[in-house]
Amino acid sequence: VQLQASGGGLVQAGGSLRLSCAASGRTFSSYGMGWFRQAPGKERESVVAISGSGISTYYTDSVKGRFTISRDNAKNTVTLQMYSLKPEDTAVYYCAASADWGARRYGYEYSYWGQGTQVTVSS
């Protein structure tokens, strides 16, 4: 599986951004998908995840109510819609695919990673 993330940018606090991840391969629906982020000087953290069917999701506490993950298995894409962005959301965001079908929250559960996309939220 090859993953291509896009959609990052610079936005003011309170603004919105939408990240997209396009995946190659014919069995996209069998992969759990996730978004992770890494801020300068910090460890990578799990942000959101979604199961292969799209029914199950996971959100880290800091983004609940502000971020929404969705997927379109017909188009092999997963989208992260981010609202009410805060400066602390600033990070490089990575999409990842897990051979496990569920909504997995840990990085070690993911085998495939896209290149990062920078999200910068100014105060």
pLDDT band at 96 (very low <50, low <70, confident <90, very high): very high
pLDDT band at 25 (very low <50, low <70, confident <90, very high): confident
Nearest-angstrom CA–CA distance, 117 and 114: 9
- Section 82-104 average pLDDT: 96
Report which DSSP code applies to 115.
Answer: P
- Per DSSP (E only), the strands in the chain are 3-6, 9-12, 17-23, 32-38, 45-50, 57-59, 67-72, 77-82, 91-98, 112-113, 117-122
pLDDT tens track for 45-84: 999 999 999 999 999 999 999 999 999 999 999 999 999 9
Residue 26: what pLDDT?
76
Q: What is the mean pLDDT of the chain?
A: 96
pLDDT band at 15 (very low <50, low <70, confident <90, very high): very high
